[in-house]
Amino acid sequence: MSTLTFTIIQTQLHWEDKAANLKMLEEKINGIKEKTEVVILPEMFSTGFSMQPEKLAETMDGETIAWMKRIAAQKRIILTGSFIAKEGEDYYNRLVWMLPTGQYGVYNKRHLFAYAGEDAHYAAGHKRLIASVKGWKINLQVCYDLRFPLWARQQQTEEGAEYDVLIYVANWPERRHHAWKTLLQARAIENQSFVIGVNRVGNDGNGIYHSGDSMIIDPLGEILYHKVHDEDILTMTLQKKTLDEIRAKLPFLKDADPFMLLNQNWAASGDGDGQ
């Protein structure tokens, strides 16, 4: 049966310092000893959760994308996380799913965190991104999207469930960690999928503390991994057999209310061969 191996990097971030973050993350990725296929970084991994896109944004020809292409190719992995992107006159909190071939898919964060003024600085995305690798389908979302279950809700296709793994990259503050942990488990249970939440740790440039609480959760809502406060790099292999057995034994998705999301984007398929 198919397996897929993920590495999550829970780390502190250097505030609005791209060069320092890219250097630090490259060292961490180079230090991964296990064979892995997908490496997941936090939200705005090159800057922290900054509301200064005018100063920090890059195009898709910029330094951060070039770095992602180089690392993915060198390590023969899929690399994902979000950064501050500029397109035309707009700025986006943009997640990139970078293949080792240099092909990539993008997802622009749909739900902007108005409480912190994100909606005043960034444009909202309107299309989901579901990537395909080794027969697995991966739904990719960003931080505040977690609070909106419809955006993650499974839609039934002729092949069955729409996706197998739901990933959230985040800068989610410690003061609302209970919501983060609870909602990650809820998304796993209601969608009968694995859920991976990758958060940062430490204080950001506004003095807001992040406890991490990165998690991997199985389709029954059971926690397979949870790390709080400390930096950590964790590699775990997920089994498609586990997912298929749960969905076959408990076919709850078949009883779901029908609906349709009109905006959908599929990433180019591709495999990371691992380190």
Q: Which of 43, 118, 162, 174 is catalytic?
A: 43
SS3 breakdown of the chain: % helix, strand, coil, rounded to 5? 30, 35, 40
Close Cβ partners of 82 (under 8 Å, ≥ 6 residues apart): 43, 44, 45, 93, 94, 95, 96, 109, 142, 169
Task: Check if 109 is active-site.
Answer: yes
Close Cβ partners of 214 (under 8 Å, ≥ 6 residues apart): 8, 10, 197, 198, 199, 225, 226, 227, 232, 234
Q: Which of 109, 137, 181, 227 is catalytic?
A: 109
Q: Which of 16, 58, 143, 174 is catalytic?
A: 143
Close Cβ partners of 70 (under 8 Å, ≥ 6 residues apart): none
3-state secondary structure of 62: coil
Task: Check if 143 is active-site.
Answer: yes
Catalytic residues: 43, 109, 143
